[in-house]
Amino acid sequence: MNTGSYYEPIDEDRYKPTVHAGGAWDIDELHFSPLGGLIVHAIERRLAARPENGLVMSRISFDILGRLALDECEVRVETIRPGRTIELIEAVALVSDRPVVRARAWLLASSDTSAVAGGAADRLTPPETLAPWPLSSVWPGGYIASLDVRPVTTPQPGRTTAWISTDLDLVAGEQVSPLASYVALVDTANGIAVRQPPTAWMFPNVDLTIHLHRRPEGRWTGLDTTVVFGPTGQGVTSTVLHDVTGPIGHAQQILTVRPS
C-alpha cells in the first residue's frame, strides 16, 4: 500500500510536489492530474474563508500553458465574475514565478431538482469486483505507479472503461474535499485508452474541461473513455465520469498528436 501524498504545503498558497507527482511523458516533470486536484483544493480553501452562499462548482476548465517542472508551485485565486446565483473563479498555478496552468471554475446555484433528474448513463460495474491492471506497464512515472486501476472490460486501443483510485493524500496534513480528490485523478483518462504506444507517438493534452451534473462521492474515479485521433495532428479524449453510485458528468481533453 502506498503512503504519503502528492503535495506538501509550504505556506498558505505554495506547495511542494513529492516523487508521487512525477509525470508520465517525462518523469522529471509534474503529471497534470494531481496538480488539477490541487488547484480545485486551492479554490475551495478560498471559498471556505467566506460566508456560505449555496453555490457549487459545476464546471472547471484547465489550460496547460507549458512545461510543468517538478518543483514547488503557487496557486493564486481570484473572483472574475461575482454573483448570487452564478459566479466565475479563476486560479493560476505558477512554477518559478511562471504561469503554467490557468483554470476557470463556474459556480452555480444549488437547489432541489430531484423531481426532474434523469438522462444519465447506467452505473458501472463496482470496482471491488474487478481485477487490478498495472498501468505502469504502459507509462512510467511516480504518479502512474501510485494508482490502483481496475478496468471494467479489457482495455482496447482508443476505448477503455476503468476505475482509478489511490491511497495517497492529495496534500499532506490538509483536509481535502471529495471533489478535489476526484479531480486529481481525472486527467488519467488520456492514458488509459491509448490508441498508439506512447513510445512511438506523443499525444499530450493541452487542456482538461470537466462538466458536473452531480458532486462525486467516495474514493473511486470512474472513467468511461474514448480517444479519437484526427488526420491532421489533433485528437480528442472524451470521458463520461462516474462515481460508485453512477455518472456525475463529462470530461474533454484536446490532444496534440505527433511521432515520438
pLDDT at 50 (0 to 100): 87
Cα separation of 38 and 50, whole Å? Answer: 19
SS3 for 46? helix
Fold classification of 5-110+123-259 is Porin (2.40.160)
The reported pLDDT for the residue numbered 213 is: 97
31-89 pLDDT, tens digit each: 999 999 999 999 999 999 888 889 999 999 999 999 999 999 999 999 999 999 999 99
Q: What are phi and psi of 16, to 5 degrees?
A: -110, 125
The 10 Å CB-count burial string (b at 16+, else e) for 236-254 is: ebebbbbbbeebbbbbbbe
Domain ranges of the chain: 5-110+123-259
How large is the greatest C-alpha to C-alpha distance in the chain, in angstroms?
Answer: 51
pLDDT tens figures, 239-250? 999 999 999 999
pLDDT greater than 80 at residue 2: no
